[in-house]
Amino acid sequence: MVLKNGDFVRINFTGKIRETGEVFDTTYEDVAKANNIYEPNLIFKARPVVIGARHVLPGIDKSLVGAELGDKTKIDVAPEDGFGKRDPAKIKVIPTREFKKRGVDPAVGMHVELDDAVGRVQSVGGGRVRVDLNHGLAGKVLEYEVKIEEKVNKKEEKIRQLLELYMPGVDSQEFKITVKEKTVEIVLPDILRVDPSATVGKISAVRDIFTFIDAVDEVDYKDVHRRTTPSDKKKQKAQKQRKPTAASKPTTESKSA
């Protein structure tokens, strides 16, 4: 079956910088370990994606249209379809005293927050700090190997996939989902009751449910309070530390292509 925009799939991938062959992102744990990019708090498994929804880099997204389940392809991703072209306007020169006010002692290579973005310090001297706010992979041609592992068809599983996408630190099987005609009821796992970032995830999931799943007019999130046991607390701590890899992080403004 040929895939199209709006289809729900799960994909595995590995991303490299084409010029150097350096692996910078992967959904495979063994590949991450072999290329020294493994982190224990990253999630290594096939990623949920709605095709055309900007849940992955545009270059990957475009390659999924017209592909078939089980396909394994190698694609080149130009900067404009990856992490963007390098923008000279994103290189800022800041007085050193501004960092001192925040208790930061800038050094070359350090990552710092500036203008609601994260940049890398390029140089320090003469009372000034040069910071590059371009993404570290901006301007790079990337090479991805992508395999389409699964197509999701059931409404309940599509909803579960979106919850997993926007709240990745939680086992998606812990969401209790009930579909009643055009209403969806979602009972949240305990950990999300105290996680402030869950609010954004819930809103993003609802937006995509209404956009990509037909015949859903209402989504009702429910908080069910239960007594927490010591084993529950240990499990919650482990889940909270988990996060997705870079290319699979959804944007906050996903929309159909």
What is the structure's pLDDT at 252? 37
3-state secondary structure of 81: helix
Helices (H), 20-140: 29-34, 58-64, 96-101
Q: Which residues of 166-198 are buried (b: 16+ CB within 10 A; e: fewer)?
A: bbbbbebeebebebeeeebebebbbbbeebeeb
Are residues 217 and 126 both part of a single domain?
no
Total domains in the chain come to 2
Are residues 78 and 160 both part of a single domain?
yes
Residue 237 within any structural domain of the chain: yes
Write out pLDDT tens, residues 11-61. Answer: 999 999 999 999 999 999 999 999 999 999 888 999 999 999 999 999 999
User: Could you give the CA distance from residue 8 to residue 5 in angstroms, rounded to a whole number?
Assistant: 9
Are residues 93 and 78 both part of a single domain?
no
Residue 257 within any structural domain of the chain: no
Are residues 66 and 159 both part of a single domain?
yes
What is the structure's pLDDT at 253? 40
Q: Which domain holds residue 12?
A: 8-82+141-248
What is the structure's pLDDT at 227? 73
Are residues 67 and 176 both part of a single domain?
yes
Residue 170 within any structural domain of the chain: yes
Are residues 12 and 34 both part of a single domain?
yes
Residues of the chain with pLDDT under 50: 240-241, 248, 250-257
Query: Where is the domain boundary, 70, 100, 132?
Result: 132
Token pair 């706010």 is at which residue?
133
Query: Where is the domain boundary, 132, 163, 193?
Result: 132
Residue 2 within any structural domain of the chain: no
Are residues 29 and 49 both part of a single domain?
yes
**Closest among 142, 25, 7 to 74, alpha carbons compared:** 142
Query: At a CB cut-off of 8 Å and minimum separation 6, what does 103 contact?
Result: none
What is the structure's pLDDT at 62? 97
